[in-house]
Amino acid sequence: MEAAFSSFTRPSQVFSTQIIGLSRAFCFPKRDKCILKRLSSVFFFRFITYFALITCAVYRPQTIQCSMKSHRLSDLKDVEVHTLKSRPRIDFTSIFGVVKPIVDDVQSRGDAAVVDYTIKFDKVALERIVEHVSDLPDPEIDQEVREAFDVAFDNIYAFHAAQRIPERIIENMSGVKCKRIARCIGSVGLYVPGGTAVLPSTALMLSVPAHIAGCKTIVLATPPSSDGTICKEVLYCAKKAGVTHILKAGGAQAISAMAWGTESCPKVDKIFGPGNQYVTAAKMILQNSEAMVSIDMPAGPSEVLVIADKYANPVHVAADLLSQAEHGPDSQVVLVIAGDGVDIGAIEAEINKQCAGLPRGQFASKALDHSFIIFARDIVEAISFSNLYAPEHLIINVKYAEKWEGLIENAGSVFLGQWSPESIGDYASGTNHVLPTYGYAKMYSGVSLDSFLKYITVQSLTEEGLRSLGPYVAKMADVEGLEAHKRAITLRLQSMEVPIPL
């Protein structure tokens, strides 16, 4: 897509001509003075007029001209389809070079390093970097804002609490019982970005399932405000959802502090949350370090793939594309047209119109620069391409959208039908908005209650059970040449006077 200011006549050129003409008039000494006075009045009037025209032109709202590249899927070769489904490559080599010294410095100097990096990157000098949430007063926020986050909390809590799996005991053979028990991860770190936009919704998405899981230590890291305080909406969500500590830091230094632990920041066992390339790089470095910390999933820029047919409202389609594009200039936006009869011109016109009025339109327009349209024969072919692309968000805005759910194989979160905008899932439907991006939806799930749990298997055998199963295990151990494994069985069987397999 291309963005440009609309063209306008440059009054400065006309203005220059008038000045030249007037100056020449003043060069005639015999010219009547009253004529000069009239010319002076004309000059002043025209000066004011042209100044106003120039001012209006300079401050004229930006007009976005969108020209999305389009491709007909049936005309593409396999290599071309592969290129389209591939995301822009991120060169982490140089980013690792920037992040690794920060990771090492925080490991070495702890709180002092975090303070220094917060001064450097956030321009804030902190007396202390960690606050105990229980010690903080309740923030004063607008009643309507409070109600909105309360509704979101209730829905997120209900959806994630329903993910608890009842414990089941399976008796595979008489006297051989097995089960799987869930235990929470003791200490978790939650990263809530605060760069181009503050995201208290992310605080809810991460802290609610952590609280339901029973995590004892929940550290939420978020960049401080310019005065060193915590965003009041983030604090409200943190207190409501059971966060224990707030680390007032962002970027690689925050991830490092949670991974290593510092004088004031508890060490965590797993780190969650989205972030920029430096946050992602820090998570990648630390999960393979002596810090012994795991992460939720690989992260990349936000993305959406919208499938629309002739019944889709162009206004809604454009709004859904832009709601993802406004996240940042690196957001990935794809529109897949299913079948004939879609007014693509109306969709592009709506994108132009809506983007021009967005406060974050500059981010959206840059994201749209590398967006594209796919024309598919039908919905089946459209979903087939989506499965190859594996989007973070998949919107199926077609008639009878629910009937196509069974064809979906790869997606972070799906939105079915014309009344299911992606924004609903981002905030308050109850599903989690921390999702795999960059094509990782092919092998990763979004954050859920399970993300904060670990599962332990348990088996219990009676004497009858070992009599029945033991001889088979002894034979398998013998085949693998593991004599000690075999004897752990046979010595018990001998005490029962059970025949031992040769």
What is the mean pLDDT for each group of 10 consecutive residues in the chain (502 residues)?
Answer: 34 39 41 43 46 41 64 97 92 94 99 99 97 97 98 99 97 98 99 86 99 99 96 98 98 99 99 95 97 94 97 98 91 96 96 93 88 97 98 98 98 98 98 97 98 99 97 98 98 86 62
How many residues belong to the chain? 502
Going by the DSSP 8-state scheme, the letter that residue 326 receives in this structure is T
* Residue 5 resides in a domain: no
* Residue 161 resides in a domain: yes
209 and 248 in one domain? yes
Tokens of 183: 């235990």
Q: What is the pLDDT of residue 203?
A: 99
Please choose, from the candidates 38, 416, 108, 60, the residue with its C-alpha nearest in 3D space to the C-alpha of residue 260: 108
Q: Is 405 a catalytic residue?
A: no
Q: What number of helices (H) and strands (E) belong to the chain?
A: 17, 15
Q: What is the pLDDT of residue 370?
A: 87
Please choose, from the candidates 382, 318, 306, 374, the residue with its C-alpha nearest in 3D space to the C-alpha of residue 347: 318
Rounded-to-integer distance, Cα 130 and Cα 435, Å: 27
243 and 140 in one domain? yes
Q: Could you tell me which residues come within 8 angstroms of residue 328 by beta carbon, excluding any fewer than 6 positions away?
A: 196, 301, 302, 363, 367
* Residue 318 resides in a domain: yes
* Residue 131 resides in a domain: yes
* Residue 502 resides in a domain: no
477 and 353 in one domain? no
Tokens of 492: 């018990």
Please choose, from the candidates 225, 293, 221, 207, the residue with its C-alpha nearest in 3D space to the C-alpha of residue 252: 221
Q: What is the pLDDT of residue 300?
A: 86
Q: Which of 393, 422, 480, 485 is catalytic?
A: 393
Q: Is 381 a catalytic residue?
A: no
Q: What is the pLDDT of residue 63?
A: 56
Dihedral sign for Cα atoms in the order 440, 401, 308, 159: negative
Q: Show which of 252, 273, 295 is a domain's final residue.
A: 295
For residues 231, 237, 240 and 244, what is the CA-based torsion angle, rounded to 10 degrees?
Answer: -60
323 and 225 in one domain? no
User: Domain containing 475: what range?
Assistant: 462-495
Rounded-to-integer distance, Cα 300 and Cα 435, Å: 10
Helix H or strand E segment including 54: helix 33-58
pTM given for the model = 0.85
Give the strand order in the sheet containing 187-191. 130-132, 245-247, 217-221, 187-191, 270-272, 294-295
213 and 357 in one domain? no
Q: What is the pLDDT of residue 194?
A: 87
Q: Are strands 413-416 and 393-397 parallel, antiparallel or unpaired?
A: parallel
Q: What is the pLDDT of residue 92?
A: 86
Q: What is the pLDDT of residue 55?
A: 41
Tokens of 30: 């015999």
Q: Which of 326, 392, 422, 433 is catalytic?
A: 392
Q: What is the pLDDT of residue 256?
A: 99
